[in-house]
Amino acid sequence: MANQIAAGTELLAYVREFSLREDDILRELRRLTADLPGGEAMQVMAEEGQFLAFLVAATGVTDVLEIGTFTGYSTLCMARALPAHGKLVTCDITERWPDIGADYWRRAGVSERIDVRVGVATETLEHMLSDGLSNSFGLVFIDADKANYPRYYELALRLVKPGGLVVVDNTLFFGRVIDPAADDADTVGVREVNAMIRDDRRVDVSMLPMADGITLVRRR
C-alpha cells in the first residue's frame, strides 16, 4: 500500500499508550486467556476489542451476532458498548471457553445482554434463519474456524440487516494468505472468503491491515 507507514514495536507501543482504554476486568481476562494453550494466538488484540466496541457504539446497533466466542474478550467489549436493552448472541462449539468469560461478563454487569449458543456454528446459524431471524442483526463478527469462513460469510449476510456490518477477523491470517506453500484448510478458507468479498457486489468493503487483518463488510 503506497505511503503506508511501517508500524514497528516502538510505534505500536505509542499507539497503545495514547489510544487503548483497557480496564482491569478486560486486562485480567486477556492475561488469563494468554496463559491458555494457544490462547495468545486465538484471542483478539486489546486494540481490536476496543475497535469492535467503537463500531458497535458508533453505528448504534442493538443486536450483535458473534461467530466464535473463545473466552469472551471480544464478547465483553461489544456487550459493554450496547445499550442496556441490547442483545449479543455468541456462538461456540463448546461451553468450556465461554464459561471462562462468563464470570468477567457478570463482573462487568453485562451478562444479561449475552446469549451463548453452543454447537456447530453453521447449524446454529441455520436454525436462526429457520426461526425467522434473517435481517435481524446490526453487526456480525466472524472469528471462528477459518476453513468454514466462506459458509459463515454467506450465512452472516442473510442474518445481518441491510446497511449492517459484517466484520471478518484474521483476513491476513499471519501472512499465510500470500504464502504459496500454505495450502492448509484454514488458509484456503481465508483466501476463499477474501476473494468472495472482493467480488461481492451486494456489499461495500474495506480490508484493514490491523491486528491479523480485519475486513469490514457493509450489506447494501
Q: What is the pLDDT of residues 84-142, one digit of tens each?
A: 999 999 999 999 999 999 999 999 999 999 999 999 999 999 999 999 999 999 999 99
pTM of the entire structure?
0.96
Question: Taking a C-beta distance cutoff of 8 angstroms, is the pair 165, 59 a contact?
Answer: yes
Q: Is residue 8 very low, low, confident or very high in pLDDT (cuts 50, 70, 90)?
A: confident
- Give 137's contacts (C-beta < 8 A, 6+ positions apart): 61, 63, 64, 65, 89, 159, 160, 161, 164
DSSP category for residue 27: H
- State the alpha helices, DSSP H only, in 82-148: 96-107, 121-130
Lowest mean pLDDT, pick from 29-43, 49-63, 170-184, 192-206: 29-43
Q: What are phi and psi of 199, to 5 degrees?
A: -95, 5
Q: Which three cell numbers stand for residue 61?
A: 446497533
> Between vectors from CA 47 to CA 43 and to CA 49, what angle results, nearest 5°?
55
Rounded mean pLDDT, 151-173: 98
